[in-house]
Amino acid sequence: MFLRLLRERRSVRKFRPMTLERELLARLVEHATWAPSAGNRQDWYFTVVTSPRVRLRMAQAVRDRWTSIAAAHQDLGMIHELAAYAAHFGDFEEAPALVIVSARAVDSLHEHLLGKDASATAGSFASAAMAAQNLMLAAHALGLGTCCMTGALAARNELGKIAGLGNKQEIVCLIAVGWPDEAPPAPERKPPTETVRFLE
């Protein structure tokens, strides 16, 4: 059953215009918190955005950021294609709910000791990512659709301000949530021979 759930989950970008009950969203977050975490510190945080006004502000911040990126790099090839692709990074505006998954930022001592390796060794980001996966699998099991988004994080600072996150939280991903209005086909997967290496 669980293995089938893993294979059947899809990224859903079109949702029915139906609100989600707060209790249901709270259940999703509770399921997310059963993910493993580094040192069992549970350094994750979930901001659930159901306000259309706030989602609109966030989506506009993402579009503005990518517009400025494209304008500053007009000399690069493929920039117009990138800008067209990035235009969809704010599509979470149409979702009934948006979950901002964030993690505790690396402390200054950790950064001083380990430099660029601080984030990887602290494990907060990895823990939050595992919690995000738990949330999406729980949503699928309950008949909901989700889409994990990271392209929007080009505007991470602006999103954090709009959501009221302090500087001790860093956004890991955004997850759009709602009742699905599409059934995307299974995407092709690379065979294990291309993605696995055994050292024996």
Burial annotation 152-179 (CB, 10 A radius, 16+ → b, else e): bbbbbebbbebbebeeebbbbbbbbbbe
Between 79-86 and 52-72, two packed helices, what is the crossing angle to 10 degrees?
Answer: 180
Q: How many whole angstroms separate alpha carbon 167 and alpha carbon 161?
A: 9
The strand order across the sheet containing 145-149 reads 44-49, 97-104, 169-178, 145-149
Going by pLDDT thresholds of 50, 70 and 90, the confidence category of residue 181 is very high
Q: For the chain, what percent of residues have pLDDT higher than 70?
A: 94
pLDDT per residue as tens digits for the range 110-129? 665 667 776 776 789 999 99
Taking the CA atoms of residue 14, residue 20, residue 23 and residue 25 in that order, the dihedral angle to the nearest 10 degrees is 30
pLDDT per residue as tens digits for the range 50-105? 999 999 999 999 999 988 888 887 777 667 777 777 777 888 999 999 999 999 98
Terminus-to-terminus CA distance in the chain, angstroms?
32
CA-based diameter of the chain, in Å?
A: 55
- Domains of the chain from N-terminus onward: 2-195 (3.40.109.10)
Instruction: For 2-34, give the DSSP string.
Output: HHHHHHH--B---B-S----HHHHHHHHHHHTT
